[in-house]
């Protein structure tokens, strides 16, 4: 399948940053400056490209993104900042566009100096390789421990115009974002004002990338952004447009699909689990409970072992810091209730629930019975393979 968005070109090449000679340098380019919204890691330790891109993103305009994998350019001091700025400058010069419109991103090992000479030497090839159907190649070039590229492409008629949207993402470990996640880039030819784009993007982030966890870690390099170049020539979408709801749904659908792909490709993951917390007093409380369960290593290892150990789940609920009423808590695996009003429902129900855990995908429903707010988090199990991957990450 060709992933093409009108007005966008992309490329991905092997520059030699990684030792295994796979693709490691990507470029996404819009033929015209695009309205832009971006969110970044809330980790206090931010990589150099994040610091550079945060400042540039304040203009809400972008025309190109240069991304390298294999090196995070994090904790590299002033030299790292200069390298990130040079990466942007060289791409801008070759593209013949304003450097302020070129953002940068990096992913990989923390603490090593970026091989900027290698990147500099390969920028011309990267630019010359730009094609309308180069999005998949770019998606391949941003991967680290991922097992495959993550791309979602959709078309939708909004008003009288056909809108195209395509998202790419990378991520399989260090996945518990806060206002952003890993690396993700969404491209659309829709015409939408920047302020409205930022609002709907952040709303979408909350129920997608901010609602997943593989290992409870927030990276130094997390970044997600959306570019809208207006090539569809639809009436510009504003905060009061009738078409805003349709565009929001389209964007959120892409974000949720990408975030699900990331969890399913989690390092060593064998299970994809939805933790659904319902009937909470506040959304914030529901989300805290969901993440407490999703991040519990005891819960995650029970998922891997296909063990209906609801005691670990109710313990994680109680440890969440939320003022729950233990005597009102219900826990179900899909529609099989194993805890009612804080008490186990018996061995037969547990045996039925254990069969649910044998599936590759399933849902855990936690009913707090204290209100009407809900939250959902996607997570994965924790397997020996996760330990192996991360124990050998730098070797």
Instruction: Give residue-wise pLDDT tens across range 262-296.
Output: 888 777 789 999 999 999 999 999 999 999 999 99
Tell me the average pLDDT across 143-153: 89
Residue 87 has pLDDT above 60, yes or no: yes
Confidence label for 178 from pLDDT (cuts 50, 70 and 90):
very low
Separation of alpha carbons 24 and 286, rounded Å: 39
Separation of alpha carbons 170 and 107, rounded Å: 9
**Structure tokens that stand for 274 in this block:** 């939805």
Q: Contact, 177 vs 263, CB < 8 A?
A: no
Least confident of 169-173, 203-207, 217-221, 344-348: 217-221
Question: What are the pLDDT digits (tens) for 43-78?
Answer: 889 999 999 999 999 999 999 999 999 999 999 999
Tell me the average pLDDT across 298-327: 96
388 among known catalytic residues: no
Confidence label for 209 from pLDDT (cuts 50, 70 and 90):
confident
Tell me the average pLDDT across 171-183: 56
Sign, CA dihedral 232-235-239-245, equals: negative
Separation of alpha carbons 155 and 99, rounded Å: 31
Residue 217 has pLDDT above 60, yes or no: no
3-state secondary structure of 70: strand
173 contact partners, CB below 8 Å, separation of at least 6: 144, 145, 214, 215, 217, 266, 267, 386, 389, 390
Q: What is the dihedral of CA 245, 248, 253, 258, to 10 degrees?
A: 180
Of 3, 143, 6, 127, nearest in space to 64 by CA? 127
Which entry of 107, 164, 181, 220 is annotated as an active-site residue? 181
Residue 216 has pLDDT above 80, yes or no: no
Q: Domains in the chain, ordered, with CATH?
A: 8-264 (3.60.70.12), 272-391 (3.10.20.340)
Q: Compute CA distances 81 → 78, 86, 162, whole Å.
A: 5, 9, 41
Confidence label for 222 from pLDDT (cuts 50, 70 and 90):
confident
Averaged pLDDT score across all residues of the chain: 93
Separation of alpha carbons 212 and 176, rounded Å: 6
Tell me the average pLDDT across 311-335: 97
Tell me the average pLDDT across 133-160: 93
307 contact partners, CB below 8 Å, separation of at least 6: 354, 357
Identify each DSSP E strand in the chain by its residue range: 8-13, 25-40, 61-71, 102-109, 150-158, 161-170, 183-188, 212-213, 223-228, 272-280, 330-333, 336-340, 343-344, 361-367, 373-380
Separation of alpha carbons 335 and 370, rounded Å: 20
Tell me the average pLDDT across 86-90: 98
Q: Contact, 324 vs 370, CB < 8 A?
A: yes
**217 vs 337, more confident:** 337
Q: Compute CA distances 93 → 25, 253, 262, 346, whole Å.
A: 17, 36, 34, 68
Residue 387 has pLDDT above 90, yes or no: no
**Structure tokens that stand for 79 in this block:** 């030299």
Specify the pTM.
0.85
Percentage of the chain beyond pLDDT 70 is 95
Q: Contact, 119 vs 91, CB < 8 A?
A: no
End-to-end Cα spacing for the chain: 35
Separation of alpha carbons 151 and 173, rounded Å: 18
- What pLDDT is stored for residue 329 in this prediction? 98
179: left (phi over 0), alpha (psi -120 to 50) or beta: left
Residue ranges in 41-156 assigned as alpha helix (H): 48-57, 77-95, 116-128, 135-141
336-340 sheet: strands from edge to edge:
212-213, 373-380, 272-280, 361-367, 330-333, 336-340, 343-344
Confidence label for 182 from pLDDT (cuts 50, 70 and 90):
confident
Tell me the average pLDDT across 163-173: 88
Cα 352 off chain centre by: 34
């Amino acid at each position: 399948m060709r992933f093409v968005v009108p007005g966008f070109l992309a490329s991905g090449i092997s520059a030699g940053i990684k030792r295994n000679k796979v693709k490691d340098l990507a470029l996404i380019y819009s033929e015209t400056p695009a309205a832009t919204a971006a969110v970044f890691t809330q980790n206090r330790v931010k990589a150099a490209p994040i610091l550079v891109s945060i400042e540039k993103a304040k203009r809400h305009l972008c025309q190109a993104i240069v991304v390298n994998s294999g090196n995070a350019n994090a904790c590299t001091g002033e030299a790292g900042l200069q390298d990130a700025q040079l990466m942007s400058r060289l791409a801008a010069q070759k593209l013949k566009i304003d450097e302020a419109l070129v953002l940068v991103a990096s992913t990989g090992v923390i603490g090593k100096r970026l091989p900027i000479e290698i990147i500099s030497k390969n920028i011309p090839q990267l630019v010359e390789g730009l094609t309308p159907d180069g999005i998949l190649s770019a998606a391949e070039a941003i991967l680290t421990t991922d097992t495959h590229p993550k791309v979602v492409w959709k078309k939708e008629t909004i008003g009288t115009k056909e809108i195209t949207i395509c998202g790419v993402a990378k991520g399989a470990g260090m996945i518990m974002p806060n206002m952003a996640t890993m690396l993700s880039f969404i491209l659309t030819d829709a015409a939408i004002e920047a302020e409205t784009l930022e609002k709907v993007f952040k709303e979408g982030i909350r129920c997608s990338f901010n609602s997943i966890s593989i290992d409870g870690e927030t990276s130094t390099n997390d970044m997600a952004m959306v570019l809208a170049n207006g090539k569809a020539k639809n009436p510009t979408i504003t905060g009061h447009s009738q078409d805003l709801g349709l565009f929001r749904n389209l964007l959120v659908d892409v974000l949720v699909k990408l975030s699900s792909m990331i969890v399913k490709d989690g390092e060593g993951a064998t299970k994809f689990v939805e933790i659904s917390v319902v009937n909470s007093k506040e959304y914030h409380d529901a989300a805290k409970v969901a993440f407490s369960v999703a991040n519990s290593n005891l819960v995650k290892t029970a998922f891997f072992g296909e063990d209906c150990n609801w005691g670990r789940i109710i313990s994680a609920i109680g440890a969440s810091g939320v003022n729950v009423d233990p005597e009102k808590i219900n826990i179900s695996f899909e529609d099989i209730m194993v805890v009612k009003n804080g008490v186990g429902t018996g061995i037969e129900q547990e045996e039925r629930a254990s069969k649910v855990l044998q599936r590759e995908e399933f849902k855990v429903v936690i009913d707090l019975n204290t209100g009407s707010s809900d939250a959902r988090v996607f997570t994965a199990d924790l397997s020996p393979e996760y330990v192996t991957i991360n124990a050998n990450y730098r070797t």
